[in-house]
């Protein structure tokens, strides 16, 4: 057991806003490391001490306990399609940041949504040939189940914003002082290390001069350069609720209009660029 020196570490510097973060509690991660958690006095995020155990817990981009990854991708697909349809023009460029295997990118491309993938750690299986490159810019960047994994959130957010997106979609559960037994801390995997609060999302929005919108009880954040009209906001609030999203998921499964054409187009693109 590696013990943290709690007495010497009653506070740390917040890795998002740089303010003082105060010791909250400790937990045993992957039954091996005793780790301190801190809550920022300014942005109210909860974060672990600077993580030193990540090499040990990332043997693959997915953890074996994450049995929901495929069904979550189907839910993310419905959310992105709804946001794309309501907020963006049809030819908008999207980036799935931290997109792992590329399953979401492939499914979006199947539906004619011009999406690329970036992931520093995952292995792109389904969207090969549609990776992000340095100079590419996007209308919308989506990041699902990424933010809670960030070792250096301010740097990563800077990287995302360097893509000049008009809209950023962040799927992560927000810290609302749920306590040390909150399921989202996932101590069994040791991979969740930063937990944004609502105030932290507002902080990011103000740092980048964007508007902050919250959906699904805070688990879906949308940052936008534009002001979303009250009518669009109302429609999004309704569609993004679980029962409506389930209907959209079914519709996306059965209505594959244009899928073959889009797949053919991608295949031709790949053959041409081989």
Footprint of Zn ion on this chain (CB under 5 A)? 14, 16-17, 19, 40, 42-43
Q: Smallest distance from the beta carbon of 16 to Zn ion, in angstroms?
A: 5
Q: Within the chain, how many helices (H) and strands (E) appear?
A: 8, 11
Closer to Zn ion at the Cβ: 11 or 136?
A: 11
Instruction: Point out which residues pair with 13 in neighbouring strands.
Output: 20
Q: Smallest distance from the beta carbon of 164 to Zn ion, in angstroms?
A: 25
Q: Reduce the DSSP state of residue 41 to 3 states and report it.
A: coil
Q: Smallest distance from the beta carbon of 215 to Zn ion, in angstroms?
A: 23
Closer to Zn ion at the Cβ: 117 or 157?
A: 157
Contact 223, 172 (CB under 8 A): no
Closer to Zn ion at the Cβ: 17 or 248?
A: 17
Instruction: Calculate the CA 91 to chain-centre distance.
Output: 23
Contact 117, 124 (CB under 8 A): yes
Q: Smallest distance from the beta carbon of 161 to Zn ion, in angstroms?
A: 17
Closer to Zn ion at the Cβ: 119 or 148?
A: 148
Long-range contacts of 203-206 (CB under 8 A, 24+ apart): 203/16, 203/17, 203/42, 203/43, 204/16, 204/157
Residue among 126, 146, 134, 141 at smallest CA distance from 94? 141
Give the helix/strand (H/E) hosting 155.
Answer: helix 153-161
Residues in the chain: 274
Closer to Zn ion at the Cβ: 19 or 93?
A: 19
Q: Smallest distance from the beta carbon of 194 to Zn ion, in angstroms?
A: 10
Q: Smallest distance from the beta carbon of 17 to Zn ion, in angstroms?
A: 3
Number of Cβ atoms within 10 Å of the Cβ of 12 = 17
Closer to Zn ion at the Cβ: 35 or 40?
A: 40
Q: Report how far residue 208's alpha carbon sits from residue 135's, in angstroms, rounded to the nearest whole number.
A: 20
Q: Smallest distance from the beta carbon of 213 to Zn ion, in angstroms?
A: 21
Closer to Zn ion at the Cβ: 18 or 258?
A: 18
């Amino acid at each position: 057991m590696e013990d943290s020196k709690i007495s010497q570490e009653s506070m740390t510097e917040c890795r998002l806003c740089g303010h003082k973060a105060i010791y909250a509690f400790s937990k045993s991660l992957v039954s091996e490391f005793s780790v301190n958690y801190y809550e920022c006095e300014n942005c109210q995020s909860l974060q672990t001490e600077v993580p030193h155990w990540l090499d040990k817990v990332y043997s693959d981009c997915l953890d074996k306990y994450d049995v929901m990854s495929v069904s979550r991708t189907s839910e993310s697909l419905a959310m992105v399609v709804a946001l794309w349809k309501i907020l963006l023009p049809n030819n908008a460029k999207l980036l799935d940041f931290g997109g792992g295997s590329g399953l979401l990118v492939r499914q979006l491309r199947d539906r004619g949504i011009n999406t690329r993938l970036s992931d520093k750690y995952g292995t792109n299986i389904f969207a090969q040939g549609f990776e992000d490159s340095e100079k590419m810019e996007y209308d919308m960047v989506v990041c699902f189940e990424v933010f809670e994994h960030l070792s250096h959130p301010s740097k990563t957010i800077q990287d995302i914003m360097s893509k000049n997106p008009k809209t950023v979609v962040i799927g992560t559960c927000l810290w609302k002082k749920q306590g040390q037994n909150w399921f989202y801390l996932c101590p069994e995997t040791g991979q969740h290390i930063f937990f944004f609060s609502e105030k932290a999302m507002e902080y990011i929005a103000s740092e980048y001069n964007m508007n902050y919108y919250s959906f699904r009880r805070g688990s879906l954040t949308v940052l936008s350069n534009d002001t979303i009209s009250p009518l669009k906001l109302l429609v999004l609030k309704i569609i993004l609720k679980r029962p409506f999203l389930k209907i959209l998921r079914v519709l996306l499964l059965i209505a594959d209009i244009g899928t073959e054409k889009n797949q053919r187009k991608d295949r031709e693109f790949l053959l041409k660029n081989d």
